[in-house]
């Protein structure tokens, strides 16, 4: 099997320094194995998508020497990139599969109601108490969300009542569709591994390896975000400094064995 990795940003704004660190780590990991590195634009949440962000992100990656492999148009690619927004039918097909396997159930609980009744888990996620698990709500009811029957005692949403998809669900499906063998992502997603594995097991999908990159934090100790102006990437003469700074961050925070395996690729492509 060909080693395959991906970088999958959300087009809610331009990349920032933390995004660059993750993209560089993913690129180096993949290319150190002579693999293919795909770009996937995770634009499934229409409310978060900002106009022109996808094009800005692609330009930022190219400017920094992070050139992705061309995803075939015959497999849903648009100019070599896989976008989520045209893939509703694929997600729906897999939701129906889980319904037929009795792995999901309809839920009429609103988030507001759960906030009043449920305790909180990591990162302020709400623990679902199982109110609707055995009610057998009809799939014809357009006002229900769909939850996965988790063995971890926290049934999580796959599709919301408004028809939008949960990242947890679609990322597993798209990783399978693209034959991703290795996922490199921020450590803020550590808590989703169990849900990823549950979904992959239920659908009979393979498990890609997962490597977490310690998240870059702002001066106040919080995760860097697109709202932090000081973290914004700049063009022109700043590009080389930014890619070198990203590598230096990885050198300080990633395992020595991993760094030894990718250092040659960094020097080949960026020195």
Q: Hey, where are the domains in the chain?
A: 4-85+179-189+205-270
- The tokens 């000081």 sit on which residue? 230
Q: Residue 131: is its pLDDT beyond 80?
A: no
Mean pLDDT of 119-135: 64
Q: Concatenated DSSP letters for 57-112?
A: HHHHHHHTT-PPP---GGGTEETTEEESTT-HHHHHHHHHHHHHTT-EEEE---HH
Angle at 36 (CA atoms; ends 27, 82), nearest 5 degrees? 90
- Identify the pLDDT of residue 123: 44
Encoding tokens for residue 154? 């926290």
Q: Residue 126: is its pLDDT beyond 70?
A: no
Q: What is the pLDDT of residues 241-268, one digit of tens each?
A: 999 999 999 999 999 999 999 999 999 9
d(CA 177, CA 188): 24
Q: Residue 177: is its pLDDT beyond 60?
A: yes
- Identify the pLDDT of residue 75: 87
Number of Cβ atoms within 10 Å of the Cβ of 35: 18
Closest CA to 174 of 77, 91, 73: 91
Q: First vs last Cα of the chain: how many Å apart?
A: 30
99 to each of 147, 195, 228, 270, how far by Cα in Å? 10, 17, 41, 48
d(CA 46, CA 85): 8
Residues 6+ apart with CB under 8 A from 5: 26, 27, 29, 30, 35, 36, 37, 38, 180, 181, 182, 183, 184
Encoding tokens for residue 73? 């148009």
Mean of the per-residue pLDDT values for the chain?
A: 90
Closest CA to 176 of 92, 104, 91, 89: 91
- Identify the pLDDT of residue 142: 64
Q: Which of 86-95, 121-130, 189-198, 238-247 has the lowest mean pLDDT?
A: 121-130
Letter string b/e over residues 241-251, b meaning 16 or more CB atoms within 10 A of that residue's CB: ebbeebbebbe
Share of the chain above pLDDT 70, in %: 89
Q: What is the pLDDT of residues 192-204, one digit of tens each?
A: 999 999 999 999 9
Query: pTM (2 decimals)?
Result: 0.90
CATH architecture of 4-85+179-189+205-270: 3-Layer(aba) Sandwich (3.40)
d(CA 80, CA 108): 39
């Amino acid at each position: 099997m060909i080693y395959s990795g991906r970088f999958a940003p959300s087009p809610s704004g331009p990349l920032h320094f933390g995004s660059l660190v993750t993209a560089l780590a993913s690129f180096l990991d993949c290319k150190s194995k002579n693999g293919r590195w795909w770009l996937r634009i995770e634009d499934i949440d229409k409310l978060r998508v900002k106009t022109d962000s996808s094009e800005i992100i692609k330009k930022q990656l190219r400017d920094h020497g992070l050139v992705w492999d061309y995803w075939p148009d015959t497999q849903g690619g648009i100019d070599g990139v896989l976008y989520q927004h045209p893939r509703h039918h694929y997600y729906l097909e897999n939701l129906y599969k889980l319904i037929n396997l009795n792995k999901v159930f309809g839920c009429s609980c609103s988030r507001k109601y759960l906030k009043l009744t449920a305790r909180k888990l990591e990162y302020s996620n709400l623990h679902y108490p199982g109110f609707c698990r055995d009610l057998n709500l009809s799939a014809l009811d357009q006002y229900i969300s769909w939850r996965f029957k988790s063995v971890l005692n926290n049934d999580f949403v796959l599709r919301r009542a408004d028809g939008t998809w949960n990242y947890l669900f679609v990322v597993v499906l798209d990783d399978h569709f693209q034959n991703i063998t290795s996922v490199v992502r921020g450590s803020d997603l550590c808590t989703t591994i169990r849900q990823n594995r549950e979904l992959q097991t239920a659908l009979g999908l393979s498990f890609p390896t997962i490597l977490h990159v310690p998240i870059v934090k702002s001066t106040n100790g919080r995760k860097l975000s697109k709202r932090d102006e000081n973290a914004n990437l700049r063009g022109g003469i700043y590009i080389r400094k930014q890619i070198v700074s990203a590598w230096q961050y990885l050198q300080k925070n990633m395992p020595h064995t991993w760094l030894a395996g990718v250092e040659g690729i960094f020097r080949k492509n960026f020195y």
